[in-house]
A and B are shown apart, each in its own frame.
Chain A
């Protein structure tokens, strides 16, 4: 049982490049989400999904796309990287209900030059 896994751990991009951050969980959780963590701002929700085939926007969705074709995987795509997207990105999952604990991946540190 690996929990929530994220790849890569570190990434450096140039402005305008695109890339996909991978996230997978093996706990059969329905709910998955992506957050970005910036100094002094806590975690801000980018996108989330309540099940395969269903996604919705969080508070900072611009510049990011997601899809949920399987229960296990929830990739985050940066369409055209900008320096403002330099951040640490965390994927999280929970079983379903709002009372359930969220489990976080180890994070991806992204730098956009």
Chain B
């Protein structure tokens, strides 16, 4: 079945450091890929998405490119801020998978001032 694998956390960075959170997926069809972010005590909210191969999603300085050949959707940001501290979830939604969205385990990011 469909699945999403993310790098384990927590990830601890200093402010202005470069961030990469790895995400790979397995899907039978042509899924849409998402990154969601969860701030402490809140629900998840969409950070960015890509709906087809080679698409790049971007928002708030974060980027991720849909790589079909490597089945990956890695999240990157050039310079993180303390306010980026949160849990990041990679997810896929496969139209052949009955409309379900599958989430990775989440990666907790701590950014130190």
Contacts and interface: CB of A to CB of B under 8 A. Distances in A.
Nearest to B49: A101
Interface residues of A, number: 25
A33 B101 contact: yes
Contact of B105 (A40, A101, A102): A40
B84 interface: no
A98 B105 contact: no
A101 B46 CA distance: 7
A101 to B, nearest CB: 5
Interface residues of B, number: 25
A56 B45 contact: no
Contacts of A107: 42-43
Contacts of B32: 98-99
B42 A106 contact: yes
Contacts of A101: 34, 46, 49
Q: Which 6 A-B pairs have the closest CB atoms?
A: A104-B43, A98-B93, A42-B105, A43-B103, A42-B103, A98-B95
